[in-house]
Amino acid sequence: MRTVLQSLMPHLMVAPILLPMLIAALMLLMGEGRRTAKLVLGIFSALLGLASSAALFVWVGTYGAVAYLPGNWPVPFGITLAVDRLSAGMLLLTWILGICALSFASSRWHRAGVHFHPLFQLQLMGLSGAFLTADVFNLFVFFEILLAASYGLLLHGSGKPRVRAGVHYVAVNLAASALFLIGVSMIYGVTGTLNMAELSARLSEGNVANRQLIDAGAAILAVAFLAKAAAWPLNFWLVPAYTSAAPPVAAMFAVLTKVGIYALVRLWTLMFAGGPLAGFGADGLLAFGVVSAVLAALGMIASQRLAVQAAAGVMVSAGTLLAALGLGEEAVLGAAVFYLVSSTLASSAFFLLVDLVERWRAGATVVDEAPFLSATLEAQEVNLDDEEEPLVALPFPASTALMGLAFVACALLTSGLPPLSTFIGKLGMLSAALEPREGGGPLSTRAWLFTGVLLGCGLLTLIALTRTGIRTFWSEMQREPPRVRAPEGLPLVALLTACGVLTLAAGPAMELARATAQSLYDRRGYIDAVLGAEVVPSATAPEAGR
Amino acid sequence: MEVVLAIAIGILTGSGVWLLLRPRTFQLVVGLSLLSYAVNLFIFSIGGLAIDKEPILADGVPPDLAHYTDPVPQALVLTAIVISFAMTALLLVITLASRGMTGTDHVDGTEA
């Protein structure tokens, strides 16, 4: 049984890619209507995808990185998929967000336009593929799949703001894709390989020819990823796009910037975490991360709209992660992985909450002139307070409580305050960055800069969100209580609960994150798994052919 | 041959970037197309330029690298062409929608 399971497990790796693709194809065959059937299919696919990513996550936890050859070609020639702790974790995160966003969309947003469900499945397919591929060019292909789906999803519901933001979003991403291709082909031209593991092995070999060309190629590639990760100055597309997108779509987009971060982490650690090129570009990543985080926090404080603040929160967390990667230390990266997961869940929940809040405010235009002076109230015996106004218990329905508490949780998570999980992530990063060096030298200015930015951004974020929270929740008491339907409330609660679980299980979760960073820096597990992947002997292709 | 190709790529990239920075959506579309042509040529040239060499094994040619050109960039460029073609079509649809909804072909949707 165990051996059978062992031999079957690698095949599971294609499930998160093939499953949504087939489901999307099926949905396209169903035509434009039949939303309920498509919704059921979509949820079914998301549950299966979640189950298979969870299985992969458990599996790599036990056996380490594993590679899979979908075309059964020997390693550097064919397409290779590989899963390690980082990919499996990102996969799990993606599918959790997928289920929550689908459930949220089911109450109204999936009716805003046609083809929401197939596009959503393709989005999930592109994301899964980007996390699973072990080949730089396939990374490009999966990036394009997820971007193409995201263009469609961004325009879902149509309308002027979406189309206007869509033009910018598509144009910036196409230009970034051009840079991606230039970087990939330069690296191929110098090293002669596109396989990430082989690339890493070749760069570690010692004297590397054409060092400048590799640096240039890697830098151009990094610019493409930085544009996707919304690093300043390539982040001006983000706020209009995320605020105008339909809220469940924006909740899914919370993970899109993290794909850029994932690609940077993966390639930077594989190429520059050790060997003769060690540390290349770390200062650049730190600088861009710091500037992006600070400017995003300032943008948050400058805005009055919750949606803009949620989008700025995405940029703050992306900038923080870039800066953490730029510090170039294993321990910092470990805590950063933990922070990545919790901040993505938090941003996603925030986008869902923003929709509920904005709908509530928009529906509250009719306020009863003087509810307490009506004849019925005067006839009853009513307590009077100090100002001789009738003291009536204001209705405080569960939905108001839910939204208020969810907002508090989102604000704490976005600004990284205790007691929730992003605080633990930030604390982990800070304590790792401020750890006394071996030899007892003074802390580097980079560590101090990082500390200052992390704390400063937290403060700015907190001020901004507190102000908006007061304006939103503590004003205009005579307002209709919000109506939160179960399919909308549940995903919000689920995402926040996930953050809560991460907080409560911070010990084991942080251990996992540290182990992830350790294997990223160690690299041997990944390289050996990919380069050691064996071709399955086949009955139809005799050995003589090779 | 290398010089000619390099100049061609340079001119295409330069024109593409210039058009990309222009305010009209049509210029944007053409600029991105030119940029993608430049990128495709760049990918194509990365395997080294060779005349009269096959990328795929052929009968009667010794199977070593001296007699063949690198097939990988050709495969890459094929993928890149298809993707950029599809993306340009998508961009055209969005710019048309933008033109229809905002009444202007400015990339920001307003003339101001």
Residue A107 binned pLDDT confidence (cut-offs 50, 70, 90): confident
Chain B residues inside the 8 Å CB shell of A159: 101
Residues of chain B contacting A186 with CB distance shorter than 8 Å: 46
Q: What tokens does A4 get?
A: 């059978």
pLDDT given at position A260: 93
- pLDDT at residue A198 is higher than 70: yes
Mutate to test the interface with B, among A164, A173, A234 (most CBs of B within 10 A): A164
Coil, helix or strand at residue B41: helix
For residue B50, pLDDT over 60 is answered with: yes
Q: Which tokens in the block code for residue A228?
A: 């996707």
Minimum distance, in Å, between the CA of residue B104 and any CA atom of chain A: 11
In A31-46, which positions are buried (b, 16+ CB within 10 angstroms) versus exposed (e)? eeeebeebbebbbebb
Is there a contact between A338 and A425 (Cβ–Cβ < 8 Å)?
A: yes
Residue B57 pLDDT: 81
Shortest CA distance from A168: residue in chain B: B107
**Residue B98 and residue A164: Cβ atoms within 8 Å?**
yes
Question: How wide is the angle at C-alpha A358 spanned by C-alphas A354 and A359, nearest 5°?
Answer: 120
Mutation target to probe the B interface, by most B beta carbons within 10 A, among A140, A181, A188, A244 is: A181
* Counts for chain B of helices (H) and strands (E), in that order: 3, 0
Residue B109 contacts A where some CB pair is shorter than 8 Å = yes
Measure A148 CA to nearest chain B CA, in Å: 8
Q: Is A419 exposed, middle or buried (0-12, 13-18, 19+ CB in 10 A)?
A: exposed
Q: DSSP letters along A44-112, please? A: HHHHHHHHHHHHHHHHHHHH--EEE-TT---TTTS--EEE-HHHHHHHHHHHHHHHHHHHHHHHTGGGS
Average pLDDT of the segment spanning A193-217: 83
B7 HSE (CA, 13 A, CB side):
3
For residues A87, A93, A95, A98, the Cα torsion angle rounded to the nearest 10 degrees is -140
Within 8 A by CB and 6+ apart from A371, the residues are A377, A478
Using the predicted structure, report yes or no on whether residue A366 has a pLDDT greater than 50: no
Which amino acid is it at A394? L
| Residues in CB range of A153: below 8 A, 6 or more apart | A116, A119, A120, A123, A245, A246, A249, A252, A253
CA dist A25 and A432 (Å) reads 47
> Which range is least confidently modeled, A71-85, A119-133, A139-153, B54-68?
B54-68
Chain B interface, mutation test: which of A163, A194, A237, most B Cβ atoms within 10 Å?
A163
CA of B62, closest CA in chain A: separation in Å? 16
Q: Which whole number is the average pLDDT over B16-41? A: 93
Is B107 in CB contact (< 8 Å) with chain A? yes
Of B32, B43, B102, the CB nearest to A171: B32
The tokens of A527 are what? 């390289």
Q: Tell me if A126 sits within 8 A of A143, measured CB to CB.
A: yes
pLDDT band (50, 70, 90) for residue A380: very low
- Per the CB < 8 A criterion, the answer to whether A264 and A183 are in contact is no
Residue A300: the pLDDT is 92
What distance in Å separates residue B36's CA from the closest CA in chain A? 6
pTM: 0.89
Chain B residues lying within 8 Å of A148, measured CB to CB = 86-87, 90
DSSP per residue over A406-462, as a string?
Answer: HHHHHHHHHHT-TTSHHHHHHHHHHHHHTSPPTT-PPPPHHHHHHHHHHHHHHHHHH
Q: pLDDT digit string (tens) for A495-524?
A: 999 999 999 998 899 999 998 888 888 888
A82-100 mean pLDDT = 92
State both tokens at B78. 């094929």
The pLDDT assigned to A389 comes to 52
Query: What Cα–Cα distance (Å) separates residue A41 from each residue in A10, A22, A36, A99, A247?
Result: 25, 11, 9, 12, 21
Question: Who has greater pLDDT, A111 or A52?
Answer: A52
Decide if B57 touches A, using CB distance below 8 A: no
Which residue did the predictor score with more confidence, A479 or A403?
A403
Tell me the average pLDDT across A18-28: 92
Question: Contact A185/B90, CB-based, under 8 Å?
Answer: no
In chain B, residues 6-35 whose CB comes closer than 8 Å to chain A: 20, 25, 28, 32, 35
Pick the residue from chain A with its C-alpha nearest to B23. Answer: A168
Mark out the alpha helices in A135-192 (DSSP H runs): 136-154, 160-191
Best of B19, B21, B94 to disrupt the A interface (most A CBs within 10 Å) is B94
For A293-342, the pLDDT digits (tens) are 999 999 999 988 888 999 999 999 999 999 999 888 888 899 999 999 99
Give the pLDDT confidence score for residue A542 in this predicted structure.
52
Q: Which residues of chain B have a CB within 8 Å of the CB of A163?
A: 94, 97-98, 101-102, 109
**How confident is the prediction for chain A on average, in pLDDT?**
85
Which has the higher per-residue pLDDT, A390 or A424? A424
Task: Choose the closest CB to A164 out of B42, B72, B102.
Answer: B102
Query: Is some CB atom of chain A closer than 8 A to the CB atom of B65?
Result: no
B89 in A contact zone (CB under 8 Å): no
